[in-house]
Amino acid sequence: MNNLAFFITFSLLASLSHAIVSDYCVGDLNLPMGPAGYACKNPNNVTVDDFIFTGFRVGGPTNNIFKNNANLAFANAYPGLNGLGISLGRLDFAVGGVIPLHTHRTSEVLILIKGRIIAGFIDINNMAYYKTLEVGDVMIFPEGLLHFQVNIGKKPALAFVSLNSANPGFQVTSSALFAGNLPAELVEKTVLLDHAQVIKLRKLFGNI
């Protein structure tokens, strides 16, 4: 009987389910976003599958220019992360594969599952910190700094990364410079590259 009263109190609250402030905010990609992320899916429709991401079971194709596959489980691909401040990625490297130089808005940790890679970052004093990692090794790439990974082994490599934002961004330096609409002249002036080099790389990226 006592516990009955206990449950009545809870039930009343629960019946107003639109009014419950939730422990999580599974992203609803069909509503307008705000600065803190996606609007929350109706909690009544949330199931355990919203919290599980199965897209990392197998690697993706690595037949691209960098011989890699970067599968990013950020909030747009894995809406269960929305608002929770963390995300992940699966990095597959073919032999000779590279995760090209890039930045995120937040810090990243990497753990090497298979293979042998060189991983590194560059700090604001232009000091590069890089080293060969063995299976099981972890490396941290501090917030916002340029970093990269290169498979130096004789077999494919596999790593998982985690970043402390549901939407950390992923800006690949060479794609930013050569694969988009930034005029060649501005690349040349602001990075000091030669015109021929810029044109060659734009072509490589299929960008004329």
| Other Cβ atoms closer than 10 A to 196 | 8
25 vs 157, which CB is nearer to its own copies? 25
Least separation in angstroms between residue 153's CB and its own copies is: 14
**Annotated binding residue at 102?**
yes
Cα–Cα distance for residue pair 133/115, rounded to 1 Å = 9
**Residue for token pair 């019946």:** 15
32 vs 154, which CB is nearer to its own copies? 32
**Annotated binding residue at 108?**
yes
**Annotated binding residue at 195?**
no
Least separation in angstroms between residue 183's CB and its own copies is: 8
23 vs 154, which CB is nearer to its own copies? 23
**Annotated binding residue at 104?**
yes
Give the containing element (helix H, strand E) for 184.
helix 184-191
Q: Determine the residue type at 171.
A: Q
Least separation in angstroms between residue 157's CB and its own copies is: 14
111 vs 155, which CB is nearer to its own copies? 111
Q: Report which of 120, 100, 102 is spatially closest to residue 110, judged by C-alpha positions.
A: 120
Least separation in angstroms between residue 92's CB and its own copies is: 12
Residues 6+ apart with CB under 8 A from 201: 174, 177, 178
Cα 179 vs. chain centroid, distance in angstroms?
19
Binding-site positions for oxalate: 104, 108
Binding residues for Mn(2+) are: 102, 104, 108, 147
